[in-house]
Chains A and B, each alone.
Chain A
Amino acid sequence: MELLLAIITGLLYAAGIYMIMRRSIVKLILGIVLLGNGVNLLIFLLGRITKGEPPIISDSDKILEGIFADPIPQALILTAIVISFGLQSFAIILVKRAYKVLKTDDLDQLNTTDEDS
């Protein structure tokens, strides 16, 4: 299981970075989404995968007993997902605006900021 997840994480990173380096802005966003998922999976994997209970205390107990999953990576991933949700929706709107104004989605055409004015 861990090996499989490690391979998937690597694939997501590779695919994400490949897409970021393409020339189209839309692919840039797809790359960012893939990379974000890769990072989340990495945190999940590095938090040690255990075949145990979810870390929820049942009504009859006061503390967690037996083997339970580490809740911290899950909290981290949840936070990261929320943040990337906000960033990605911003990115989509930004790219849409940029496409309307600049009339191109080719990153190589975006060089007015390099001109000296």
Chain B
Amino acid sequence: MTNHVIILPLIVNLLFSIILMFFWRNINFQKLFSVIGNAIGLGVAIYVFTHVYQNGTQVVEAGNWEAPFGIVFVGDMLAATLVLLTAISGLAVSIFSSISVINARLRFGYFSVFQFLLLGLNGAFLTGDIFNLYVWFEIIIISSFVLISIGGEKNQLEGAVKYFALNFFASMIFLTALGVLYGLAGTLNMADLAGKVQSIENRTLVDVCAVLFLVGFGIKSAIFPLYFWLPASYHTPPSAVSAIFAGLLTKVGVYALIRVFSMIFEIDVFLQNLLIGLGILTIFSGGIGALTHTNIRKVFSYLIICHIGFMIGGLGLFTKVALTGVVFYLIHDIIVKTNLFLIAGVIYRIKATTNMNKIGGLYANYPKLSLLMAIPLFSLVGVPPLSGFWPKLSLILASFSEAQYWYFGALIFGSFITLFIIARLWSKAFWKDQPEFKRERKFIYFYELRPFQKLQFIMPIMLLTFVSLYIGFGANHIQELSVRIAEEITNKDLYIKAVLNP
């Protein structure tokens, strides 16, 4: 009996994107089926997660070709967790897009492409072959190009050009690195590479290759100094699209960095200093960038960059405690960042703008909604016992015990600046009185919506907030999970054994 469990998420995503393509013109059908598809996807992801949690790393050899020769799909704990988080964010965003994205955009096959994006993400997490990773990355970026440019407004197209140019360039660098790696090691299977790269004599070329991977994934995960495309493009598409981008697209870069630098390349002193240095600079540039802006979505874009720095620095430390923190932070960050952009979408629907200076009085008008929004905002800051607090604790402990005081300082700085920015946002958008309000014509405001439509706006936020609260209050479960994942990352023999001797 072969075990197909871990490829089920891919099959569900592909199946639903094909079904949605057949009903290209029927938007109401697409809305319904997209939500159903993502709900089934979530169910399957939970099943995959529990299966991997109970039975350990699962391997599927596509086409029944044996491991180092064929393409393998590997579901270890890290991959299964990320697939689960993708499914949660995917469900939330698909509910949110069915109401917030206008029909003129949905007519261009929005939901079908959205399923392809999720397919690419799941594939990237599950694959055990580095060239296959490239292919999934391309599926992700092609889908994201379509999603970011759908609608064709002025600043959207401009953002799309910038996003396209840098992401395509990143793919080319990734492909170059792949070519060099294949030339050196003669294999593409990650488990096989783990053993073979160690025995290559030409260490300089291996280092060059490692840095090429760092640059390629660095552009995708928006680390310093390669992040400029992110704040130029993430605020331009509809909020639902930015939400899925913010939650998952940069994180898949971080995932790839974790995978490549734990499996294939050893983190030596040079790489350690490089990663920690980049992490510190990313925290600083993201935090300071966020201070200078007043558009809420732009502020959140810079905060994405700032918090990527936490994870990159933690990866650089590469101790078990640090990796626990990184994984926990990844789990927390995917949910919270998706939620933040959904919140920005709701604020836009209420006020017709996302400029902090032009809005106010949210708390006075919508007290319950504001309290709901407060939870993810303060989870992001890391107010104990909400979800952002626990991973920072691990990261700070690790940086202290490794005597990386600069990184320690940057972590504190990043947390403070996040606190300051969120407090400023709270006081400006929620507590301040509404400044002069000009009612825009032809804009459907939030209070004009029917109750069911309001629910469609609020439900995804409630879902994600609930998950955030679980991560915060059930932190011992997540911590256990993160420790287990960190163990699997540091002890790569488990992965190699699962792939090469099934």
Hey, which bits of chain A sit against chain B, CB under 8 A? 20, 25, 28, 32, 35-36, 39, 42-43, 45-48, 72-73, 76, 79-80, 83, 86-87, 90-91, 94-95, 97-98, 101-102, 107, 110, 112-114, 116-117
- Assuming the A-B contacts A28-B165, A110-B158, are A39 and B179 also in contact, with contact meaning beta carbons closer than 8 angstroms in the complex? yes
B5 within 8 A of A: no
- By the criterion CB–CB under 8 Å, are B154 and A101 in contact? yes
A43 to B323, CA, bound (A): 34
- By the criterion CB–CB under 8 Å, are A20 and B179 in contact? no
- Assuming the A-B contacts A113-B159, A113-B236, are A87 and B168 also in contact, with contact meaning beta carbons closer than 8 angstroms in the complex? yes
- By the criterion CB–CB under 8 Å, are B142 and A116 in contact? no
Partner of A39, one of B131, B141, B175: B175
Q: In angstroms, how far is the closest chain B Cβ from the Cβ of A30?
A: 12
Q: In angstroms, how far is the closest chain B Cβ from the Cβ of A85?
A: 11
Partner of B164, one of A42, A79, A91: A91
B456 within 8 A of A: no
Apart from A43-B178, A87-B141, A107-B161, what are 4 other A-B pairs with CB-CB below 8 Å? A28-B161, A43-B179, A97-B152, A113-B235
For residue A39, which residue of chain B has the nearest CB?
B175
B51 within 8 A of A: no
Pick from A39, A48, A102 the residue with the most CB of B within 10 Å.
A39
For residue A41, which residue of chain B has the nearest CB?
B179
- By the criterion CB–CB under 8 Å, are B182 and A72 in contact? yes
- Chain B 289-324 interface mask (CB, 8 Å, partner A; 1/0): 000011100100000000000000000000000000
- Assuming the A-B contacts A35-B172, A43-B175, A94-B164, are A112 and B158 also in contact, with contact meaning beta carbons closer than 8 angstroms in the complex? yes
- Chain B 146-183 interface mask (CB, 8 Å, partner A; 1/0): 10010011110111111011001100100110111011
For residue A79, which residue of chain B has the nearest CB?
B135
- By the criterion CB–CB under 8 Å, are A83 and B232 in contact? no
Partner of A113, one of B142, B175, B233: B233
- By the criterion CB–CB under 8 Å, are A87 and B142 in contact? yes
- Assuming the A-B contacts A87-B168, A94-B157, A110-B161, are A46 and B149 also in contact, with contact meaning beta carbons closer than 8 angstroms in the complex? no
Q: In angstroms, how far is the closest chain B Cβ from the Cβ of A98?
A: 4
Name the A residues within 8 Å of B66 (CB-CB).
none
Name the A residues within 8 Å of B355 (CB-CB).
116-117
- By the criterion CB–CB under 8 Å, are B142 and A90 in contact? yes
Q: In angstroms, how far is the closest chain B Cβ from the Cβ of A101?
A: 5
- By the criterion CB–CB under 8 Å, are A113 and B162 in contact? yes
A39 to B183, CA, bound (A): 13
For residue A28, which residue of chain B has the nearest CB?
B165
- How many CB-defined contacts (below 8 Å) exist between A and B? 101
A48 to B443, CA, bound (A): 61
- By the criterion CB–CB under 8 Å, are A113 and B164 in contact? no
- By the criterion CB–CB under 8 Å, are A87 and B138 in contact? yes
For residue A17, which residue of chain B has the nearest CB?
B169
B188 within 8 A of A: yes
B53 within 8 A of A: no
Name the B residues within 8 Å of A46 (CB-CB).
179-180, 182-183
A56 to B135, CA, bound (A): 25
Q: In angstroms, how far is the closest chain B Cβ from the Cβ of A86?
A: 6
- By the criterion CB–CB under 8 Å, are B162 and A94 in contact? no
Jot down 30 A-B pairs with beta carbons below 8 A, ordered by A.
Answer: A25-B161, A28-B165, A32-B168, A32-B169, A35-B172, A39-B172, A42-B180, A43-B175, A43-B182, A45-B183, A76-B179, A80-B175, A83-B135, A83-B142, A86-B142, A90-B142, A90-B146, A90-B164, A94-B145, A94-B160, A97-B152, A97-B157, A98-B160, A101-B153, A110-B158, A112-B158, A113-B235, A113-B236, A114-B232, A116-B294
For residue A98, which residue of chain B has the nearest CB?
B157
Name the B residues within 8 Å of A25 (CB-CB).
161
Name the A residues within 8 Å of B160 (CB-CB).
94, 98
Name the A residues within 8 Å of B293 (CB-CB).
116
Q: In angstroms, how far is the closest chain A Cβ from the Cβ of B202?
A: 13
A47 to B175, CA, bound (A): 14
A91 to B161, CA, bound (A): 8
A94 to B232, CA, bound (A): 17
- By the criterion CB–CB under 8 Å, are A94 and B158 in contact? no
Q: In angstroms, how far is the closest chain A Cβ from the Cβ of B374?
A: 25
Name the B residues within 8 Å of A112 (CB-CB).
154-155, 158
Pick from B145, B175, B294 the residue with the most CB of A within 10 Å.
B175
- By the criterion CB–CB under 8 Å, are B161 and A20 in contact? no
For residue B137, which residue of chain A has the nearest CB?
A83
- Assuming the A-B contacts A32-B168, A79-B135, A113-B236, are A95 and B161 also in contact, with contact meaning beta carbons closer than 8 angstroms in the complex? yes
A79 to B134, CA, bound (A): 10
- By the criterion CB–CB under 8 Å, are B155 and A113 in contact? yes
Name the B residues within 8 Å of A35 (CB-CB).
169, 172
Name the A residues within 8 Å of B162 (CB-CB).
110, 113
- By the criterion CB–CB under 8 Å, are A98 and B161 in contact? yes
Name the A residues within 8 Å of B176 (CB-CB).
39, 42
Name the B residues within 8 Å of A117 (CB-CB).
295, 355
- By the criterion CB–CB under 8 Å, are B135 and A94 in contact? no
A20 to B219, CA, bound (A): 16
A44 to B155, CA, bound (A): 40
Partner of A20, one of B138, B169, B295, B298: B169
Q: In angstroms, how far is the closest chain A Cβ from the Cβ of B334?
A: 25
- By the criterion CB–CB under 8 Å, are A73 and B135 in contact? no
Name the B residues within 8 Å of A32 (CB-CB).
165, 168-169, 172
For residue A77, which residue of chain B has the nearest CB?
B179
- By the criterion CB–CB under 8 Å, are B161 and A42 in contact? no
Q: In angstroms, how far is the closest chain A Cβ from the Cβ of B40?
A: 28
A74 to B45, CA, bound (A): 35
